[in-house]
């Protein structure tokens, strides 16, 4: 940190700091910190005990210099999680937009490698089995392994799951465990409740680790349910790592194609809220059971 040797320098540093603070690039605390440093005569040494730190300005802050209608921009920012009203430096993003983007990318990359905790599975009272992919790395590189149960899981599912039910629910980590932990506590009870009150016979839901969408076909071939639904973690985005999808299929068999599945995506607090999704999914499940078809085939019947 530079040290001011004369009054002029102090004035310059002060006005630069104020300008940065105005633009939200520096917190009041940060400004005070820099100013006090500028006033000092001896250089400061890094102080790890200091509580002061640089942080991002609040996301909702409008970053456009001289907008035509500032209130309109602020209102727009409330309507979408998209990165709008962020201003520019020439044609490029402002420094804080760039750094926030990098931070969000870092967090999203890490989210892929998280596991659903044992504690969570116990709390939700979910039996847990695994796909044929033994690790996250293997899961990412070998989609084929994530599409079938491990040998042990086949045994567990055959022994423990009720057969010939109308609906079997799977909770699958997929590409985001955060999506499971964030949504299942509200979504699963709402869905179970909805199905029960519609008189639909449901098998006990269970959890599959390192699973992809198609693993539902393997499970269905063992439990022989009419419909199987996977509540599965979508790939994490910069905006949220908590987005969950529900993939449903009516009686999959060896001729099943992807278009035979029905999908409801973007279940999370910023999309379809999990509790609401429970009711929505109940309706969709009823339609599928009634039509004895899912996916494009179901839509054709509508």
Partner 1 sequence: MILKAKVYNKIFAFQSFKEVMAKANEEKSGDELVGIAAKSASERVAAKLVLSNLTLEDIYNNPVIPYEEDEVTRAIYDGLNLRIYQEIKSWTVGYLREYVLDHKTTGEDLAHISRGLTSEMIAATAKLMSTMDLVCGSKKMRVQSHCNTTLGVPGTLAFRCQPNHPTDSIEGMMASLKEGLAYGSGDAVIGINPVEDNVETVTRLLETVKNFMIKWEIPTQNCVLAHVTTQMKALEKGAPVDLVFQSIAGTQKANDAFGVSAAILDEAFALAQHKGSATGPNLMYFETGQGSEVSLDAHLGVDMMTLEARTYGYARGYRPFMTNNVSGFIGPETIYSGREVIRADLEDLFMGKLHGLPMGIAPCYTNHMKADQNDQEMGTLLCAMAGSNFFMGVPGGDDVMLSYQDTSYHDDASTREILGLRPLPEFEKWLEKMGILENGKLTERAGDPSIFDK
Q: Number of C-alpha atoms within 13 angstroms, CB side, residue 274?
A: 21
Residue in 141, 158, 193, 224 binding partner 1, rule: CB under 8 A = 141
Give dist(CA 208, CA 139) in Å, integer.
Answer: 12
Find the part of the chain contacting ligand B12 (CB under 6 A) among 35-43, 96-104, 121-129, 206-214: 206-214
| Contacted entry of partner 1, ligand B12, none for residue 170, CB cut-off 5 to 8 Å set by kind | none
| Contacted entry of ligand B12, partner 1, none for residue 47, CB cut-off 5 to 8 Å set by kind | none
* 105 lies in the binding site for partner 1 (CB under 8 A): yes
Place of tokens 């102080």: 47
| Contacted entry of partner 1, ligand B12, none for residue 174, CB cut-off 5 to 8 Å set by kind | ligand B12
Q: Which is nearer to ligand B12, 17 or 284 (CB)?
A: 284
Give the other-Cβ count within 10 Å of 97's Cβ: 17
Residues 108-147 that bind ligand B12 (CB under 6 A): 143
Give dist(CA 163, CA 146) in Å, integer.
Answer: 23
- Least separation in angstroms between CB 288 and ligand B12: 13
- Least separation in angstroms between CB 61 and ligand B12: 27
| Contacted entry of partner 1, ligand B12, none for residue 239, CB cut-off 5 to 8 Å set by kind | partner 1
Give dist(CA 26, CA 55) in Å, integer.
Answer: 8
Question: How far is C-alpha 274 from the chain's CA centre?
Answer: 12
Find the part of the chain contacting ligand B12 (CB under 6 A) among 4-12, 25-33, 79-87, 259-267: 259-267
Positions of E strands within the chain = 127-130, 167-172, 206-209, 227-233, 244-250, 262-267
Residues 172-211 that bind partner 1 (CB under 8 A): 175
- Least separation in angstroms between CB 202 and ligand B12: 22
- The residues, ordered by sequence, that sit 6+ positions from 228 with a Cβ below 8 Å of its Cβ are 167, 168, 169, 170, 216, 217, 219, 220, 248, 249, 252
């Amino acid at each position: 940190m530079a040290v001011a040797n004369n009054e002029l320098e102090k004035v310059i540093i002060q006005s630069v700091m104020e300008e940065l603070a105005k633009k939200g690039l520096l917190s009041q605390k940060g400004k005070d910190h820099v100013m006090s440093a500028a006033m000092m005569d001896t250089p400061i040494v890094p102080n790890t005990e200091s509580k002061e730190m640089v942080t991002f300005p609040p996301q909702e802050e409008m970053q456009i210099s001289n907008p035509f209608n500032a209130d309109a921009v602020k209102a727009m920012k409330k309507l979408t999680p998209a990165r709008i009203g962020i201003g520019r430096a020439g044609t490029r993003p402002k420094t804080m937009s760039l750094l926030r983007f990098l931070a969000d990318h870092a967090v999203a990359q890490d989210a892929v490698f998280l596991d659903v905790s044992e504690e969570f599975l116990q709390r939700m009272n979910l039996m847990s089995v695994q796909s044929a992919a033994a690790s996250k790395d293997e899961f990412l590189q070998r989609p084929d392994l994530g599409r079938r149960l491990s040998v042990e899981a086949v045994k567990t599912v055959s022994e423990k799951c009720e057969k010939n039910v109308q609906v079997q629910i799977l909770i699958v980590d997929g590409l985001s465990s955060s999506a499971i932990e964030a949504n299942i506590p509200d979504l699963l009870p709402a869905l179970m409740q909805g199905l029960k009150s519609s008189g639909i016979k449901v098998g006990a839901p269970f959890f599959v680790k390192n699973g992809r969408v198609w693993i539902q076909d393997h499970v269905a071939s063992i439990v022989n349910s009419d419909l199987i639904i996977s509540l599965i973690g979508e790939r994490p985005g910069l905006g949220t790592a908590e987005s969950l999808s529900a993939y449903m299929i009516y009686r999959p068999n060896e001729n099943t194609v992807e278009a035979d599945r029905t999908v409801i995506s973007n279940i999370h607090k910023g999309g379809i809220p999990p509790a609401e999704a429970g009711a929505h999914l109940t309706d969709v499940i009823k339609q599928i059971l009634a039509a004895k078809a899912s996916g494009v085939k179901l839509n054709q019947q509508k």
